[in-house]
Structure 1
Amino acid sequence: MSSDNRVRGVIPLRAQQDPGRRLLTRDSPQVRVGGRGVLQANLNWLPGARADVNLCCLIKFRDGTATCVQSLGDNFGALDAWPYVALDQDDRTGASADGETLRVGLGHRERFEKLLFFVYIYEGSADFRRLGASVTVTEPSGPGCRILLDDSPAGSVGCAIALVTPDAGGLTVRREVSWFTGTATAGPHEKIDRAYGFGLDYTVTLKPPRDQEDRPARGGLRW
């Protein structure tokens, strides 16, 4: 539970049972990742909330290009081809025990300048306070880490979770947990992008209806 007795609602994945997994906090915000396999970031939240929460990854390459892997606009990416980052599914309600998982091909890490894992609420909740959300990062050569999204301010619909940057022989994963709101002219995607300098353009994009109702989100990429 959190300090105010709210249940975090973390679904017990097999990887989370590893007692060596480190919890990233403000006081201890980063880990170093090595190896040449796959780096995974898994998002889970309370299924009873019926909120459509989306795990995304902003990617900037050393050649100056950038993109965003996300379910909005069906930009699910690819692991073995550009952009070397892939999202497995779009969980519209939190009902999937597997949540949503991003995979990063570490064999291509020399191509990356930086990556940012972030989340936003498409529909179903005004902010993250009742969602019990957390992200588990799994690395190929160590126990990995967890990041709790349990301190959302009221009205925050987006969160920059972790910044990933290459270094000599590996990557550094640094906890951010920076919260963002959205407006009619600038959604959380744009605000997060601007804050971290990825330089993409965005447009309003719709998902297929979940409950017989479409809701536009300003987060689709403008190509």
Structure 2
Amino acid sequence: MFPSILSNQTHEVTNQMGIQLKKGERFNLSKTSPSLTKVAIALGWEIATKLNLSDSSPQSCDIDASVFALGSDGKIPDERYFVFYNNSQSPDGAIAHSGDNQTGQTQGDDETIYVDLEKVTAAVEEMVFVVTIHDAQAKHQNFSQIRNAFIRLYDRTTGSELARYDLTEAFSEETAIEFGRLYKKDGNWRFQAAGQGYKAGLQSFVDKYHSDIKNSKNFGEMPQIKQVTLPKIERNEASKKTPKAREIKLEKTGDSHKINLSKLGSSELLVVHANLDWEELENRSEFWGKQQGENGTPDLDLGCMYEMANGEKGVIQALGKNFGSKTSSPYIFLDKDDRTGATEGENMYILRPDLIKRVLFFGFIYSGVGDFETVRGRMFFKISNGEEVHIELDNPNRNRSFCGAAMIQNTGSQIVIVKKERYFKGHEEADRYYGFGFNWHRGTK
């Protein structure tokens, strides 16, 4: 029997009218306004500086608001559920675009997305609102030249404002912002303020949410952005490779590697791929198996304890069948439970590292051997920017079957991978040390 999950802690802002949201906070529309059916999501901005220094007046800046209506798989059902300046309405009639404001020089709202919640098809579970600068690269424009940007939600029937998020983050090179998302959970419509900037264009989001429509005539001369595909980590191959420029080894406890979230280039959004691999040391597992009445085959599990920027906490691991989610918070998922280590080990993915506060990756021995002295454990991180981070679990403690291997932390502009390699008797002891504050109960696979 092993400790399993627990009470998942979340923090949401509810039951307030006209609330001012901060980055990462959530607002429950259905609880606040049970009769709400028609909502407007308005976006606005101002030009902060002269964009053409040879001109006495600010150059116009064409900023576009778009919405991707996603299904349970995190993709749009078809291309018509991408609503933007060249497709002003979704096929179910639930989502409509106010039109293209090409200057941003009006007062108040610049572009608005209208949503009729009663008409939203059952195939749509989430709407992601993004703002991009048209021809940003050619015009040498970015969000450092924009001020007073905001997104606000209001009741179209009464005109009353429900929630507002003012973008206060300082951006330098970013040309796109994921402003927020409207999603359905437990029968309630909720909104989350995102405020995450990217050095990318509209095509980057198209690639993310529906790769089949990137050649649509609606995109005109918009550059094609190739989607990043993470290579599989083949068993034992990574440790045999010749070191290369983008391969980082964290050798000592406390060693770290930083990845700049604001300088990823105009490609797919950052993804972190974690892999736990192991091999049994010769002549050790047979002895342990005899002592325990088992076959001696080590069964190691990869898992993580996470805390999101909005306060949500949880554990992902095969124990208790908590495999996470690809398409909803926390956007962290475990691919499988490898009982033998005979394949490529176990893999976990963080699809939205920009939304996390910290993630502790751990490995623990479920059966077969007694501690990490009897197996050779390794953890690898493949980052979608091409970097690889290698961690050897080479300093084990006897009679400790749980290893807090690495921590990923979000500092705002960077994510930092830190080698921890600290050994514990189990989940609860590790949790007390790192202060996640879970309530554990016994469980099995």
| Per-residue deviation, 1:157 | 0.3
**C-alpha distance 16-84 of structure 1, shift in aligned 2 (>3 A):** farther
Letter in 2 for 1:53: L
Q: How does 1:191-202 map onto structure 2 within 5 Å?
A: 191-202=429-440
Which secondary structure state, in structure 1, belongs to the residue aligned with residue 375 of structure 2? coil
Counterparts of 2:323 and 2:306, CA distance in 1: 13
Query: Who is 2:147 aligned against?
Result: none
Aligned to 1:119: 363
The whole-number CA distance in structure 2 between the counterparts of 1:47 and 1:153 is 16
SS in 2 for 1:77: coil
Matched pairs, number: 189
Q: Is the 8 A contact 1:66 1:199 kept in 2?
A: no
Q: 1:139 to 1:119 in 2, by over 3 A?
A: same
Q: What letter matches 1:102 in structure 2?
A: M
Within 2, Cα distance between the matches of 1:151 and 1:67? 28
Unaligned runs of 5+ residues in structure 2 are 1-234, 286-296
Instruction: Indicate the residue corresponding to 1:179 in structure 2.
Output: 423
Query: Paired residue for 2:350, among 83, 104, 114?
Result: 104
TM-score when normalising by structure 1: 0.78
Amino acid at match of 1:189: H
Distance 1:143 1:191, change over 3 A: same
The whole-number CA distance in structure 1 between the counterparts of 2:339 and 2:242 is 26
Quote how far apart the aligned CAs of 1:140 are.
1.4
**1:216 aligns to what?**
none
Whole-Å Cα distance in 2 between the matches of residues 168 and 75 of structure 1? 27
TM-score by length of 2: 0.40
Percent identical residues: 28
Asked whether 1:39 is paired with 2:272, we answer yes
Call closer, same or farther: CA 1:15–1:40 in 2, change over 3 Å. farther
Tell me which residue corresponds to 2:342. 95
1:61 corresponds in structure 2 to: 308
Q: Distance in 2 between matches of 1:179 and 1:14?
A: 22
TM-fit CA distance, 1:161: 0.8
Instruction: State which of 319, 343, 348 in structure 2 corresponds to 1:72.
Output: 319
Q: 1:131 maps to which residue?
A: 375
Q: Report the residue type matching 2:350 in the other structure.
A: V
Q: Deviating runs (4+, > 3 A) in structure 1?
A: 13-18
* RMSD (Å), alpha carbons: 2.1
Q: Does 1:11 align with 2:236?
A: yes
Report deviation, 1:197: 1.1
Q: Greater Rg, structure 1 or structure 2?
A: 2
Partner of 2:441: 203
**Aligned residue type for 1:101:** N
CA distance in 2, matches of 1:191, 1:61: 21
Amino acid of the residue matched to residue 22 of structure 1?
A: I
- Conservation of the 8 A alpha-carbon contact between 1:190 and 1:202: yes
Following the alignment from structure 2 to structure 1, what is the Cα–Cα distance between the partners of residues 249 and 354? 27
Contact 2:280 2:376 in 1 (8 A): no
Q: CA deviation at 1:189?
A: 1.0
Give 1:60 deviation, angstroms: 0.6
Unaligned runs of 5+ in 1: 1-9, 182-187, 208-223
Q: Does the aligned pair in 1 maintain the 2:253–2:419 contact within 8 Å?
A: no
Is it true that 1:29 corresponds to 2:29 in the alignment? no
Identify which range, 117-126 or 13-22, moves more after superposition.
13-22
8 Å CA contact 2:270, 2:353 repeated in 1: no
Equivalent pair of 1:33/1:139 in contact (CA under 8 Å)? no
- 1:190 is the counterpart of 2:428: yes
Using the alignment, how far apart are the partners of 2:395 and 2:254 within structure 1? Answer: 16
Q: Is the contact between residue 127 and residue 157 of structure 1 (CA under 8 Å) also seen in structure 2?
A: yes
Q: Distance in 2 between matches of 1:14 and 1:149?
A: 13
**Which structure is higher in RCO with an 8 Å CA cutoff and minimum separation 6?**
1
Task: Tell me the distance in 2 between the aligned counterparts of 1:195 and 1:88.
Answer: 27
| Cα deviations by residue, 1:61-108 (Å, 9 ceiling, x for unpaired) | 223221001000110001221221110111111112x11011001xx3
Instruction: Pick closer, same or farther for the CA change 1:25–1:153 going to 2, 3 Å.
Output: same
Paired residues of 2:377 and 2:392 also in contact (CA < 8 A) = yes
Partner of 1:153: 397
Question: Given that residues 360 and 404 in structure 2 are in contact (C-alpha distance below 8 angstroms), is that contact kept between their aligned partners in structure 1?
Answer: yes
Q: Distance in 1 between matches of 2:375 and 2:239?
A: 21
Q: Deviation of residue 27 (structure 1)?
A: 7.0
1:40, 1:137 within 8 Å by CA — same for their partners in 2?
yes
The residue that corresponds to 1:212 in the other structure is none
Instruction: Note the C-alpha offset of 1:33.
Output: 2.2
Q: Secondary structure in 2 aligned to 1:191?
A: helix
1:52 corresponds, among 299, 304, 308, to 299
Q: How far apart are 1:17 and its partner, in Å?
A: 5.5
